[in-house]
Amino acid sequence: MMSDSHSDGTQPDMKQWVLEPETEYRFELDPDTSLAIKLAHGQAEVFGAELAEGKTYLFGTECRAAVFTWQGCTLEITGRPSTEYVSEETPMAAYANVHIAFEQMRVRALRVVHGSPASDDDANANAEPPRVLVLGPENSGKTTVCKILTNYTVRAGQNWSPVLVNVDPSEGGWAVPGAISAAPIRSPIATASPANPLGSAATSAPTALSSNALIPLSYWYGHSETKRNPVLLDRLIRNLGENIRQRDDDDLEARVSGLIVDTPSSFASSSGSAPDNRHTLIKACVDAFRINVILVVGHEKLTVEMQRLFGNRFTVVKIPKSGGVVELDHGYRERVHKYQLHTYMYGQKIDPPPGITSAIVGGEAVADLVLSPSSCVIKFGDLTIYRIGAENMAPSSALPIGAARMLSEMQPVLVDPASSSSGLLNSILALLAPFNPDESERYDEEILDLTVVGFLVVTSIDAPNRKMTILAPNQGSLVGKTALVGSFDWQE
Ligand SMILES: Nc1ncnc2c1ncn2[C@@H]1O[C@H](COP(=O)(O)OP(=O)(O)OP(=O)(O)O)[C@@H](O)[C@H]1O
């Protein structure tokens, strides 16, 4: 039920919505518009993150989302979404059941860590926490399912810190598009803008600013499409898995929170890459993250395929797709990449709709989310830049017959900024962690296994003077550092 309420004349666009239990208010925003939502009474959540009564939350940058209520609520909504409606059909009950099953697995795993006597059905073999791979076609709501399940886990009051893993390089996660990453989640992930689909991270903002700041671990793949270099993606997935395993070995209590892996839709699509390739990356995830549950979002055929492949080792479950998931077209996805980079450099800024004076964005005060990046001029020699995969450099038609195959997809190729074909102008660079200082520990392909410490953009190149201008969210010398370039560009 909806009613206009602008009798006070201050908020002409404010409407009140009364939601029945187990329904949700869905909205879509146009570019350059925002929406303010206040929970006036009752209980409500956005993709599993609860709203506090009386606080006003801002949404912007073409956000598409829903406010769901288990018990019913009244919302005061200010702004003009391009689409808004209430739906009584949601898959939330099914998702909550999945969450309850996972919660039981965590509790059982914790009991074993504490050495409590196992009950009859608590065979040790079953006492593993859920390590979940979420698969599904394009626009099935995979990321949203991951967010809901993660948020329910951290809200369970058991101090869980599940690791959320994003192996979808087109999504950006906490970093920028092109990266894959993982972060332990300790407080609910807010939704405010597609620029921060998994909540805001501490990679660019000083940690002190953001109370919900996450410290993700990232690797740079550099492209949005998984088929561009599946061999490299496979290796990076295994690197992420190896890192998480080390944490798990060091911290058994953290391990029992389990993990949730969001995947790209190409893992599920039957067009494009050959099925074998597709399964290669699914298998890489299953091995790397020691997956013991696969959730398939609304896709019968894939569920059967996965049951055939893994059904004898662990559970494969199909879960319903939400009717609220919005089809995101190519143009929208391109704009989101721009928003993500802009947010990485400048922080999150959403101007409230007219009439709203005090509001928060994803749990943070608006002013705390603004950053000022620094632009600096460096010498070509200061930074060493590589591109991974020699084949990306030249079309195979330009190479002698057979040569393309000899060039490895994993080979680091030095990029010369002085060359007019370097492709560096406006490129995004991933700044890498230092090589191992111990010479005896160094190895040929080490560069593939280095994590990312930050991202930069080359904003101008002055070849005659052998200098270039770099934009970065924070100052710091780049001398002697190594960076990787991929296929992402950004211009303001
Ligand atoms: N119940 C809902 N109501 C309104 N919008 C929703 C709902 N569920 C998801 N969305 C929105 O739909 C869009 C697509 O959802 P999501 O990103 O979860 O899908 P995906 O399957 O991960 O996408 P991709 O194709 O990029 O892999 C997002 O903008 C999300 O916020």
- State yes or no: pLDDT of 243 exceeds 50: yes
Asked whether 89 lines ligand 1 (CB < 6 A), one says no
- The answer to whether the annotation marks 64 as part of a ligand binding site is yes
- State yes or no: pLDDT of 422 exceeds 50: yes
Check: CB of residue 480 under 8 Å from CB of residue 385. no
Question: Mutate which of 67, 139, 144 to test ligand 1's pocket (most atoms within 8 Å of Cβ)?
Answer: 144
Averaged pLDDT for residues 222-250: 90
In which band, very low, low, confident or very high, does the pLDDT at 210 lie, cut at 50, 70 and 90? very low
Rounded to the nearest angstrom, the distance between the alpha carbon of 181 and the centre of ligand 1 is 19
Average pLDDT, the chain: 84
Asked whether 322 lines ligand 1 (CB < 6 A), one says yes
ipTM, 2 dp: 0.98
Rounded to the nearest angstrom, the distance between the alpha carbon of 467 and the centre of ligand 1 is 42
- The answer to whether the annotation marks 139 as part of a ligand binding site is yes
Q: For residue 138, give the ligand 1 atom closest to its CA.
A: 25
Asked whether 324 lines ligand 1 (CB < 6 A), one says yes
Q: What is the pLDDT of residue 118?
A: 57
Among 258, 96, 47, residue whose Cα is nearest residue 161:
258
Q: For residue 68, give the ligand 1 atom closest to its CA.
A: 1
- State yes or no: pLDDT of 134 exceeds 90: yes
Asked whether 299 lines ligand 1 (CB < 6 A), one says no
Rounded to the nearest angstrom, the distance between the alpha carbon of 139 and the centre of ligand 1 is 6
Q: Which residue has the higher pLDDT, 407 or 139?
A: 139
Rounded to the nearest angstrom, the distance between the alpha carbon of 352 and the centre of ligand 1 is 23
Rounded to the nearest angstrom, the distance between the alpha carbon of 268 and the centre of ligand 1 is 16
Residue the block writes with tokens 């549950």? 293
Q: Which residue has the higher pLDDT, 278 or 462?
A: 462
The C-alpha atoms of residue 55 and residue 49 are separated, in whole angstroms, by 14
